[in-house]
Structure 1
Amino acid sequence: MPVLVITGTGTEVGKTVTTAAVAAAAVAAGRSVAVLKPAQTGVRPDERGDADEVARLAGTVTTLELARYPEPLAPATAARRAGLAPVRPHEVADAAAKLATEHDLVLVEGAGGLLVRFDDEGGTLADVARLLDAPVLVVASAGLGTLNTTELTARELRHRGLRLTGLVIGSWPSEADLASRCNLADLPKVADAPLLGALPSGAGACAPADFRAGAPSWLAPRLGGNWNVSAFAFAHAP
């Protein structure tokens, strides 16, 4: 897959760390990787954004950020309040397509969930995936409440005729509760898509060398790793 769109079921589910893990596994396999962040919000011009964090953790990757807005809001709202031009889905798709001519893998990391708006016309990451005809990876949380948001995201993808390549749990707790352990079986059912990884809680705080060494063990072979969902589910069976 030359382009992979990565979205979350909401904010703070581990989307950036998952993007970094997919990038690190690809780099370890000898692939050239680019990470595209269409809109970064809530970050000052002199601060590091999500794409910078992916590069810090994953290693040698190309990064591109199309727009940055100071307030931590949805991109359309943040752009409007800052008096800045919004990002349009066709601009994101064009940038990703160009990067794909120069790299083996392009990761497009959205902001928040699938339908967070880029502009006041309602353009979203789903529109970007459609323009690129690219598969979508959904990052979900582990615990109580995740089944609803995951199923809604999966349904919307299919309603739009988009390909859901699978799910990754963005932060697996060191001491998983009953809901989290049951969700290992239930998440693939509600999404009708495979579970392709689970990142340990706090993975983003690892030293970069440790993160790169660990990334393949957190992701299934479809994402360039060696994680085994059956073994993981057996080890955490409720």
Structure 2
Amino acid sequence: MTVVLVAGTGTGVGKTVCTAALAALGVRSGRRVAVLKPAQTGVAPGEAGDAEEVARLVPGATVRELVRYPDPLAPAVAARRAGMPGLSAERAARAAADLHGGHDLVLVEGAGGLLVRWDEAGATLADVAVRLSAPVLLVARAGLGTLNETALTAEALRRRRIECTGVVIGSWPREPGLAERCNLGDLPAEAGAPLLGALPEAMAGLEPEEFAACAEKALGLAWEATVISREAWYHALKE
């Protein structure tokens, strides 16, 4: 896969950390990696957004942001309130294709959930996936409610004939409860795709070298298509 779209099952599920973790694995393996953030909201001009966060965590990656709106709202709404044009799926797909020309792996991070609107025409990250014929990686929450969110997002992908390459838990708690532990086994069935890993909470606070090592531990085995049990994940992430 040379272009992968990173979609959340909702807002605040850990998409940026997951995108950075995937980028870190790519850079560590010697790939030329680019990360595209088509629409950034809730960040004022001059402030660090998601793209800057990835650049901080993964110094070797190319990062690019297309548009940003100051209000912390869905891009279409934030654009309207700011009196700015929305972002079309065509522009985002073209930017990803341009980055693909000079990189081995391009990661495209969405804003909010899969079907959050980017412009008044209703463009979404799913439309970009269709235009690029690219797979989507789902980032989900760990706790109660995540199975329904994941199932709904996966159903939306299937309806559009978009491949779901896997699901990642974006923030695994230090002290997981019963729901979190059970979800490790149930998420793949809801997603219709394998569980590729779980990222420890507060992972974004690590320095780049430590971050890359943590990413390799949390995602590396599954990224290499190794089959491991939910108990193995649970114990590995507690160490």
Residues 177 and 111 of structure 1, relative CA distance in 2, 3 Å threshold = same
2:185 and 2:230 in contact (8 A); partners too: no
2:124 equivalent in structure 1: 124
Shift of 1:232: 2.6
Residues 231 and 25 of structure 1, relative CA distance in 2, 3 Å threshold = farther
Give me the TM-score of the superposition, normalised by structure 2: 0.94
Could you tell me how far apart the structure 1 residues matched to 2:229 and 2:138 are? Answer: 16
2:209 equivalent in structure 1: 209
2:197 and 2:222 in contact (8 A); partners too: no
Residues 33 and 222 of structure 1, relative CA distance in 2, 3 Å threshold = farther
2:89 and 2:124 in contact (8 A); partners too: yes
Aligned sequence identity (%)? 58
Task: State how 1:101-116 maps to structure 2 within 5 Å.
Answer: 101-116=101-116
Q: Name structure 2 gaps, 5 residues minimum.
A: none
2:87 and 2:119 in contact (8 A); partners too: yes
1:199 equivalent in structure 2: 199
Residues 180 and 226 of structure 1, relative CA distance in 2, 3 Å threshold = same
Residues 216 and 227 of structure 1, relative CA distance in 2, 3 Å threshold = farther
Could you tell me how far apart the structure 2 residues matched to 1:97 and 1:113 are? Answer: 22
1:216 and 1:226 in contact (8 A); partners too: no
The code of the aligned residue for 2:17 comes to: V
The code of the aligned residue for 1:2 comes to: T
Shift of 1:226: 7.5
1:216 and 1:224 in contact (8 A); partners too: no
Shift of 1:235: 3.2
Shift of 1:85: 1.1
User: Which digits, 9 at most, give the CA deviation of each residue in 1:139-160, with x for residues without a partner?
Assistant: 0000000000000000000011
Shift of 1:192: 1.4
Could you tell me how far apart the structure 2 residues matched to 1:193 and 1:112 are? Answer: 21
Q: How many residues align?
A: 236
Residues 221 and 134 of structure 1, relative CA distance in 2, 3 Å threshold = farther
Residues 32 and 205 of structure 1, relative CA distance in 2, 3 Å threshold = same
1:25 equivalent in structure 2: 25
1:46 equivalent in structure 2: 46
Residues 227 and 102 of structure 1, relative CA distance in 2, 3 Å threshold = farther
1:83 equivalent in structure 2: 83
Could you tell me how far apart the structure 2 residues matched to 1:225 and 1:21 are? Answer: 17
Give me the TM-score of the superposition, normalised by structure 1: 0.95
Shift of 1:58: 1.6
Residues 6 and 229 of structure 1, relative CA distance in 2, 3 Å threshold = farther
1:63 equivalent in structure 2: 63
Could you tell me how far apart the structure 2 residues matched to 1:234 and 1:135 are? Answer: 27
Alignment partner of 2:179: what SS?
helix
Residues 68 and 229 of structure 1, relative CA distance in 2, 3 Å threshold = farther
Alignment partner of 1:204: what SS?
helix
Could you tell me how far apart the structure 2 residues matched to 1:210 and 1:73 are? Answer: 32
2:195 and 2:222 in contact (8 A); partners too: no
Over the aligned positions, Cα root-mean-square deviation in angstroms equals 1.7
Could you tell me how far apart the structure 2 residues matched to 1:62 and 1:2 are? Answer: 14
Alignment partner of 2:119: what SS?
coil
Q: Name structure 1 gaps, 5 residues minimum.
A: none
1:217 and 1:225 in contact (8 A); partners too: no
Residues 234 and 34 of structure 1, relative CA distance in 2, 3 Å threshold = closer
